[in-house]
């Protein structure tokens, strides 16, 4: 009977793992406030400056209010009139609410990021979106 219990528990663990893998990337798993930032470099052709900026963005991951993080560069999707792929790097941060986004803005790590890396960019555009049900 111990073996039966063990097998049952293993099946339960495996089923649980399968379910959470399937659900992980689905809508309900993403915190509701998306903070989407696009950066244009002063030297848009400088791979070195792009790498430095990405290095800076990565430091933000240590800020505890961040519930999800996607650091990107323009993707190789089809060129269309509506697609803006002129930016150099993007960050997409998820927060539980606007208060957490504010706490992030004034967090010393974010302040240090602005102090140390803002000389690299010429333009920033931010979109803050809250999820609708």
Residues that bind a second copy (CB under 8 A): 1-2, 5-6, 8-10, 12-13, 16-17, 20, 23-27, 29-31, 33-36, 38, 54, 61, 67-78, 80, 82-85, 87, 89-90, 92, 94, 98, 101-102, 105, 124-132
90: helix, strand or coil: strand
45 vs 84, beta carbon nearer a second copy: 84
Least separation in angstroms between residue 8's CB and a second copy is 8
112 vs 125, beta carbon nearer a second copy: 125
Over the range 50-83, which residues count as b (16 or more CB within 10 Å of their CB) and which as e?
Answer: bebbbebbeebeebebbeeeeeeeeeeeeeeeee
Tokens of 49: 């400056």
87 vs 117, beta carbon nearer a second copy: 87
Least separation in angstroms between residue 43's CB and a second copy is 18
Least separation in angstroms between residue 35's CB and a second copy is 7
With tokens 């790498």, the residue in question is: 51
Least separation in angstroms between residue 62's CB and a second copy is 12
Residue 111's H or E segment, with its range, is helix 108-117
**Listed residue (53, 47, 23, 37) closest to 121, CA to CA:** 53
43 vs 131, beta carbon nearer a second copy: 131
CB atoms within 10 A of CB 42: 12
């Amino acid at each position: 009977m111990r073996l039966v219990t063990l097998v049952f528990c293993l099946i339960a663990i495996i089923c649980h793992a399968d379910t959470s893998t399937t659900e992980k990337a689905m809508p309900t798993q993403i915190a509701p406030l998306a903070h989407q930032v696009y950066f244009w470099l002063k030297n848009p052709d400088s791979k070195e400056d792009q790498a430095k900026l990405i290095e800076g963005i990565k430091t933000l991951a240590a800020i505890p209010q961040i519930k999800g993080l996607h650091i990107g560069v323009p993707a190789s999707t089809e060129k269309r009139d509506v697609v803006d792929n002129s930016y150099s790097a993007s960050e997409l941060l998820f927060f539980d609410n606007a208060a957490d986004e504010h706490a992030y803005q004034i967090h010393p790590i974010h302040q240090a990021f602005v102090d140390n890396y803002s000389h690299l960019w010429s333009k920033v555009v931010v979109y803050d979106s809250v999820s609708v049900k």
